[in-house]
Structure 1
Amino acid sequence: MQNGIIVFSTYPDKETALKAAKKIIESKLAACVNLTEVRSLYWWKEKVEDSKECLAIFKSTSKTSKMLKGAIAKSHPYEVPEIVEIKMNSVSNSYLRWMVESVT
């Protein structure tokens, strides 16, 4: 059986993240995307930035991992986009089954 994955990516605003999430869902590369507004502190071009961003949490399967991350990278507005994958170590069978059925 396939494994579940979570991919995190931050976007400059809610509208940009929503547009990306809809495209990913419609392409069947993720079963679910959660969007939440966050405040990020990070180093960028020799100084500390403090920005409001929107965090997208993509839930998918190991089978679609490469295509999902490629689609995020291709359409992402940032010069250096955050694209971080985490494997689901523990997930209910019914949720994993739903994810597998929901993606390509």
Structure 2
Amino acid sequence: MPSSRKIGQEIAAHGIMSVAVRECHIFNLCVHPHHQRRRLGRQMLRHLLELLIERKAETAFLEVRDSNAAARALYAAGEVKQIPLARRTRRSSASPSTLDSR
């Protein structure tokens, strides 16, 4: 389920998620470099959370690369809790996080 925000004719931010069996998986949340530091990431995250609540999801999962300080700060400022991962299955050094929609 894609969602996007435009500024003028340009897509400034987008998010992609899937909801099934009361679980949401946020696959992508991106803000174009020219539009970063304008709270668009926070707005997009809030929008995705509203969508998952509408669809009766109780939990959302996402992965964040350890090197992505801006994303980690965004999620740390919200209702995001990091959950442990038994073992890393990718070489991407991503850390899983979970959002509690309640």
| Fold conserved between structures, TM > 0.5 | no
For the pair shown, the structure with the greater C-alpha radius of gyration is 1
| Structure with higher helix content | 1
Identify the structure with bigger relative contact order (alpha carbons < 8 Å, sequence gap 6+): 1
TM-score by length of 1: 0.29
TM-score by length of 2: 0.29
